[in-house]
Amino acid sequence: MSKNTLAGRDCLRLLDLSPEEFELVINTAAKQKADWAAGVQEVPYVGKSVAIIMEKPSLRTRSSFEIGSYRLGAHPLVMSDDHSAFSRGETVQDTTLVLERFVDAIVLRTYEQSKVTEVAKWAKVPVINALSDDFHPCQGLADALTIREHKGSLKGLTLAYVGDGNNMAHTYLELGALAGMKVQLGCPEIHMPDPAVVAECEKVAAQTGASIAIFNNAHDAVAGADVVLTDTWTSMGDEDEHDQRLAEFEGFQVDAALMSEAAEGAIFMHCLPAHRGEEVTDEVMDAPYSVIFDEAENRLHAQKALMYLLMEEV
Ligand code: CP
Ligand code: NVA
C-alpha cells in the first residue's frame, strides 16, 4: 500500500498534487462512492470539524462540502453570511490563528488566490480552495472522476474547453496536464488563460505525456474531442461586464453543431451554474451526452475523498 502523502497538506490548486496524488484522490473518491452506495458507510472523523467559509455565492460547493463533512463524521461549520470570518477587517493572520483552534480543516471560497495562500500560510490544519478567481481544484477533481466514470480512463483522451480563460480554464489545464490528456482550449484573444499557469502546466505535461494547444476559436478546440467543457462567460465578480462579455464571446457558444465536431461518443460537461442560451444551448445541456448532473453529484464524492486524505493524522 502506498503511503498517503497528502495527510496534513493543503489543496489550493490541482498542481499542489503530483500526478500520483491526483490519481489517489480520484481512486479514493471512486471507492468511497461505491462503498457508500453499497451501504458501507464509515464515519472516520467523528469529533472533528471543518470550517467552510464562502465569500462568494454557492450551491454545489457549499452543499457538497457540508454533506461531505457530515458523512465523514466531522461537524461542518459553515460561514457564508456577511457577518462572519473575514467580514470585520480582522487580519487574515489573526482570523486563521483563531479558527484553527476550533477546526481540523479550513475550506475557503474567495476572490484572490493570494488570500487562500495566506490562510494556508498561517493555518496548521489543511486548507482547501473552494474556488478563487484563479482556480477551482475541487471542481477539477469531481470532473476527473466523472470523465473516468463515463470514458473509462483519462490518459490519452482529448479534453476540449471552450470559453473564458478563467479559473475553470486554469483548472482544466492542470487536470489535463496531471492526467496525461490532450488539452485543447478555445478562448477569445482578449480572454486567454494566464500564460504563467499555461507554462506551469506545460512543465507537468512534459512528465505525464499530456499536450496543450490553445486556439482563438471554438472549432479547433473541439475537433476530435472526447470531452467538451464550457463555463459561464460572466464569472462571479464580472457581473458588471455581462453585456460587453456577451459580445466578446460571440462564436464561442457550445451548440449541437459544435458538439458534432467532437469525437464519436463525446460527452458534454459544465461545472454549473450555466447561463443557458449564452455559453451553451438548452439542446446541449439536456442532450443524452450531457453528464452535468453526474458531474455535480461527484463534487460530494471528490471533496469527501480530498478531506479524508488531507485530514488524516500524519
Ligand atoms: N460549480 C460550482 O462550484 O458551483 P457553485 O458555485 O454552486 O458552488
Ligand atoms: N468561473 C465561474 C465558476 C463557477 C463555479 C466563476 O468563478 O463564477
The predicted-structure confidence for 24-56, as pLDDT tens digits, reads as follows: 999 999 999 999 999 998 899 999 999 999 999
- Residue 110: helix, strand or coil by DSSP? coil
Bond into 273 cis (ω within 30): yes
In the prediction, which pLDDT does 83 show? Answer: 77
- All 3 cell numbers of residue 132? 478563487
Displacement of CA 56 from its chain's centroid (Å): 15
Edge-first strand listing for the sheet containing 75-79: 75-79, 49-54, 105-109, 127-129
**135 closest CA partner among 183, 181, 175:** 175
Place of cell 483552534: 101
Place of cell 489535463: 176
In the prediction, which pLDDT does 82 show? Answer: 78
Question: Which of these is catalytic: 231, 245, 270, 301?
Answer: 231
Ligand 2 atom index nearest CA of 166:
1
Query: Do 173 and 135 contact (CB within 8 A), yes or no?
Result: no
- Rama region for 47: left / alpha / beta (φ>0; ψ in -120 to 50; rest): left
Other C-beta atoms closer than 10 Å to the C-beta of 50 total 26
- All 3 cell numbers of residue 140? 477539477
- Residue 127: helix, strand or coil by DSSP? strand
Rounded Cα–Cα distance for residues 245 and 232 (Å): 10
- Find residue 52's DSSP bridge partners: 78, 107
Based on the residue annotation, tell me whether 238 is a catalytic residue of this protein: no
Rounded Cα–Cα distance for residues 263 and 261 (Å): 7
**290 closest CA partner among 271, 313, 303:** 271
Our answer on whether the CB atom of 166 is closer than 6 Å to any ligand 2 atom is yes
Question: Which of these is catalytic: 32, 134, 138, 139?
Answer: 139
Closest residue (by CA) to atom 7 of ligand 1?
59
Q: Identify the segments of the chain with pLDDT beneath 50.
A: 1
- Find residue 160's DSSP bridge partners: 184, 228
Distance of CA 120 from the midpoint of ligand 1 (Å): 22
Based on the residue annotation, tell me whether 109 is a catalytic residue of this protein: yes
In the prediction, which pLDDT does 2 show? Answer: 55
Q: Which ligand minimizes its atom distance to the CA of 295?
A: 1
Closest residue (by CA) to atom 3 of ligand 1?
61
Ligand 2 atom index nearest CA of 168:
1
Burial class (CB in 10 A: 0-12, 13-18, 19+), 43: exposed
In the prediction, which pLDDT does 163 show? Answer: 98
Closest residue (by CA) to atom 7 of ligand 2?
235
Question: Which of these is catalytic: 13, 109, 148, 270?
Answer: 109
Distance of CA 136 from the midpoint of ligand 2 (Å): 8
- Indicate whether this model's pTM tops 0.75: yes
With the most atoms of ligand 1 within 8 angstroms of its CB, the residue from 299, 300, 303 to mutate is 299
Based on the residue annotation, tell me whether 271 is a catalytic residue of this protein: yes
Based on the residue annotation, tell me whether 11 is a catalytic residue of this protein: no
**300 closest CA partner among 173, 129, 141:** 141
Question: Which of these is catalytic: 148, 271, 301, 303?
Answer: 271
Query: Do 304 and 29 contact (CB within 8 A), yes or no?
Result: yes
Distance of CA 142 from the midpoint of ligand 2 (Å): 15
The alpha helices in the chain, defined as continuous H runs, are 19-37, 60-72, 92-99, 113-122, 137-151, 167-179, 195-208, 218-222, 242-248, 256-259, 282-285, 292-310
Q: Which ligand minimizes its atom distance to the CA of 272?
A: 1
Rounded Cα–Cα distance for residues 199 and 193 (Å): 10
Query: Do 283 and 244 contact (CB within 8 A), yes or no?
Result: no
Ligand 2 atom index nearest CA of 231:
1
Rounded Cα–Cα distance for residues 39 and 68 (Å): 16
- Find residue 75's DSSP bridge partners: 49
Based on the residue annotation, tell me whether 231 is a catalytic residue of this protein: yes
Distance of CA 272 from the midpoint of ligand 2 (Å): 8
Question: Which of these is catalytic: 13, 62, 136, 270?
Answer: 136
In the prediction, which pLDDT does 20 show? Answer: 97
Based on the residue annotation, tell me whether 60 is a catalytic residue of this protein: no
Distance of CA 18 from the midpoint of ligand 1 (Å): 25
